[in-house]
Chain A
Amino acid sequence: MADADLRAACEHRSMERATWRLTRSPTDRVVLGVAGGIGERIGVDPIVVRLGFGLLVLAGGVGFVLYLIGILVSVDPSPAQPAPPPRKARLRPTIAFAAILAGVLLILRDAGLWFGDDVVWPMALGAIGSAVLWSRAEVGRSRFASFVSRGHGAPVRTVAGVLLIGAGVSLFLVSGRRSGLLANAPIAAAAAIVGVVVIVGPWVAGLVRQLADERRERIRSQERATISAHLHDSVLQTLALIQRADDPRRMSNLARTQERELRSWLYGRSSAPDHQTVSGAIDALVDQIEREHAIVVEAVSVGDAPVDDASLALLAAAREALVNAARHSGATTASLFVEIEGDRMTAYVRDQGAGFDRASIGVDRRGIADSIEGRILSVGGSAEIVSALGSGTEVRLSVPRSTS
C-alpha cells in the first residue's frame, strides 16, 4: 500500500516537472516531436516551428544544433498520462515567432554562418511553399492553416504553395547560374533532391500515415466483426434457447455447455478440442457427455500425455461409466478424475446416486462387462466397480502406459 502511495507521489512529481520541462508532442511528430512540442507550448503552428528549424539548418547548421539541444531538454510524453491539450495556435505568437526567426537569420548571415544567399533564400521560399501546400487542417491548428485547407480555401492554398515553390526554384536557378554554383554538378544534384523532398516529402509522409490509419481501422473492424459473429452464433443463440426451455435441467445444461464453449474461446483455445493429448480428449469427452445427457461432470486431470491405445481404451471405458451414471444413478453430478503418473494411467468415475448391487443385474445386461471391463482388460489394465445400494458408485480404472 505504501508502495502504491510512493509511486503515485512520484508520478505527481514527474507531472509537475513535465509542466515546466518541454514535452515532446506525442501526436504531432515528424522526427521526435520536438517542434510539435514547442509549437504546442508557445501557441504557434508546429509547421512554422519546423520551418524555423529547417531554415536555421541552412544557416551553417545552427538549426541542427538547436534541435539536438531541444531533444536534450525535452522529455518524452509519458504514455500513461494523456498529454495536456495543446495550446491552440494563434496568429500573434506566430508572427512574433516569425519575426524573431527572421532577425536571428539576419544576425547569423552577418556573422558568416551562412550557406550563401544563392541557396538559403530559394530554399526558404520553397519550404514555406511546401508547408502551405501540405499543411493539414486539424483541430487546434492555426487559423491560417485551417483557413487555407478548408473547403474553398484549398485552391488558394494550392495556388499559393505552388507559386512560392516556383518562385524558390526560379530564384535558385537564376542566382545559381549567375554565381556559377550550378556548374558544380554534385551541388546541383543535391539541390534538386532537396527540392523534390521538400515538395513531395510531406505528401508521401501523409500518404503513409493515412495508409497505416486505414489498415489499423480495418483490423479493428474485422476483429469487431469476428467477435460479434461469434457471440451471435453462440451466446445469443443459447440465451434464446434458454428462454424457451421450460425444463430447469435442460436450462442449466445449456448454460453450462455455453459457458465452457465461451470460456475456451476467451482463453484462446480453439472450439474444436485437441484430440492429440489426453487432456484434450478429456475436454471433448466431458463436453459430449454433458451435451447428450442431463448430468454435470466435474472433471479433474493431473498430468498430460499424447493419446495412445491404452489411454483411448481407458477414456472409452470412463465414458461408458459416465453414461451409466447419467442413465441409472439419478445423480445430477458425477466426478471424473484422471491421473497420468509414471507408467500408469488411472481414471475414477464417481457418482453419489442410487448405486446398485451387481448380483441383481441380469447376465443379459452386458454393458458393464463388455464396454468397461472388456476394454480395459484388452489393453492389460484392471477395472473395479465399487457400489452398494444407496451409496453411489465408483468405477476405478487403471491401464499400463508405455513410457518409451
Chain B
Amino acid sequence: MTDGAVTVFVVDDHRLFLSGVRSELGRAFAIVGDADSVDAAVEGIGRTHPDVVVVDVHMPDGGGAAVIERVRAAGGESRFLALSVSDAADDVIGVIRAGARGYVTKTIAPDDLVEAIRRVHEGDAVFSPRLAGFVLDAFAGSPPPGALDPEVEQLTPREREVLRLIARGYSYREVAGELFISVKTVETHVSSVLRKLQLSSRHELSRWAADRRLV
C-alpha cells in the first residue's frame, strides 16, 4: 500500500465488473479490499476502514443503501460513491438519502471515475447529469405543506442554475466559468443540494421516485 494514497474499497456482486473496476482504479488508489455481498462488505469495511467505498446500488439483501446504512450505524467514517447500471430514480434517490455522496453510472469513463472518487474523498458531492435532472424534478414546485424547515425544502435559484448546467453536461469547472464563480463555490452549492436531498422531509420524494418513469 502506498503511503498517503487514498484507500478504496469496492462492493459489487458481479465478479467480472469488480475485477474490471479494481484494475482501473489500482493505478490511482490503494484498493484495500472488495466484497460481493452486503454482509461481506460491512465486515470488510469495518476491518479495513477505507477512505472511500465504491458501492453497487443493486445487490441482494438490500443493495448499496443497506451497506451504507449498516456501516454508518456501526460508526464507520468512510465516504460512499454509488455506482450502478440502474437509472431508476427511486434507486438513485434511495442510495443518496442513505448517505452516499455521489452517484455515477457504470458506463462512466475510467478517468471520470477516478476524478469522482477523488472528489468524494475530499468531501464534495458528485452529481452526474442524470442525478442533477432527478433532483431538479424532485424539487420542482412548492415545498410540501407542514415542512419543518422551509430552508431545506427548496433549492435556491443559484443551486437550480448549477444543477441545470450539470444536467446540460457541464463539468464543475465549466459551470464555474459560465457563472463567473470559483470551482470551490460550485462544490459548495452541490454539497448543499446533497444535504437538502438527504434532510428533506419531502414525503413525495419517494412517491415521486416510484411514479417517475425511468429516463
Contact = CB atoms under 8 A, between A and B. Distances in A.
A335 B136 contact: no
B213 A303 contact: no
B136 A339 contact: yes
A337 B140 CA distance: 16
Contacts of A300: 129-130, 132-133, 167, 215
A258 to B, nearest CB: 13
Given A298-B130, A337-B167, A303 B137 contact: yes
Contacts of B130: 298, 300
B1 interface: no
Contact of B133 (A264, A269, A301, A394): A301
B214 A337 contact: no
A48 to B, nearest CB: 44
B74 to A, nearest CB: 7
A337 to B, nearest CB: 4
Given A337-B129, A339-B136, A348 B168 contact: yes
Contacts of A256: 107
Interface string B105-131: 001000000000000000000000110
A322 to B, nearest CB: 12
Chain A CB count within 10 A is highest, among B74, B132, B170, for B170
Nearest to B129: A300
Given A300-B132, A302-B167, A335-B129, A341 B214 contact: no
B87 interface: yes
B74 A269 contact: no
A352 B173 CA distance: 14
Contact of A302 (B88, B140, B170): B140
Interface residues of B, number: 22
A158 to B, nearest CB: 51
Interface in A110-142: none
Contacts of B164: 337, 339
B195 interface: no
Contacts of B107: 256
B214 A269 contact: yes
Contacts of B88: 267
B60 interface: no
Contact of A299 (B70, B85, B215): B215
Contacts of B136: 302, 339
Contacts of B16: none
A302 B138 CA distance: 9
Contacts of A303: 137, 140
B179 to A, nearest CB: 15
B203 to A, nearest CB: 20
B177 to A, nearest CB: 11
Contacts of B144: none
A261 B213 CA distance: 14
A263 interface: yes
Nearest to B163: A302
Contacts of B167: 300, 302, 337, 339
Contacts of A302: 133, 136-137, 140, 167
Contacts of B74: 1
Given A1-B74, A337-B133, A339-B136, A298 B169 contact: yes
Contacts of A299: 215
Interface string A372-385: 00000000000000
Contact of B169 (A1, A269, A337, A341): A337
Nearest to B170: A350
A394 B129 CA distance: 15
Contacts of B85: 259
A334 B215 CA distance: 16
Contacts of B168: 335, 337, 348, 350, 394
Interface string A327-367: 00000001101010100000010101000000000000000
Interface in B139-184: 140, 164, 167-170
A279 interface: yes
Nearest to B132: A300
A348 B136 CA distance: 15
A273 B167 CA distance: 23
A55 to B, nearest CB: 51
Chain B CB count within 10 A is highest, among A298, A299, A301, A339, for A298
B174 to A, nearest CB: 9
B57 to A, nearest CB: 14
Contacts of A352: 169
Nearest to A296: B107
Contact of A335 (B73, B137, B140, B169): B169
Given A300-B129, A337-B169, 11 more contacts: A1-B73, A1-B74, A267-B88, A267-B214, A301-B133, A302-B137, A337-B133, A339-B136, A341-B140, A348-B169, A350-B170
Interface of A: 1, 256, 259, 263-264, 267, 269, 279, 298-303, 334-335, 337, 339, 341, 348, 350, 352, 394
15 contacts: A1-B74, A259-B85, A263-B214, A264-B214, A269-B213, A269-B214, A279-B215, A298-B169, A299-B215, A300-B132, A301-B215, A303-B140, A335-B168, A337-B129, A394-B168
| CB-CB nearest 6 A-B residue pairs | A335-B169, A300-B133, A337-B168, A348-B168, A302-B136, A300-B167
